[in-house]
Amino acid sequence: MGIAYLSKRITALAVGVPLLLSLSLGGCASSGSSLMDAHAEAPVPAKTSGYLPVEDLPPPRDQSAMTPVEQSKLKKELLAARDRQAAAAKAQGDTPLQPMKP
């Protein structure tokens, strides 16, 4: 490494560093806008969502969700489906879990 090589390298750094600094600081300069203008131009978030606010309750129902007859019919269907699945698992040789008593 000669002195001429080091001299060229130092000269390149002396020219390159201020150039890079001026370019990087130039990005921070603004064209007459301020942070307040940027905040005013920001889009307003949507206030609608799929959820009700905590204090807003749905209106009371006119009728119950399910009648007792519908509940018993659904319970019988679910028990029958559980028994069918247990029988199918037993036929395949799996050890089914013991069903819980309702």
pLDDT in tens, 51-90: 767 887 878 888 888 899 999 999 999 999 999 999 998 8
Distance CA 102, CA 71 (A): 13
Structure-token pair, residue 97: 């879990």
Q: Of how many residues is the chain composed?
A: 102
Boundaries of every domain in the chain = 67-93
pTM flag (> 0.75): no
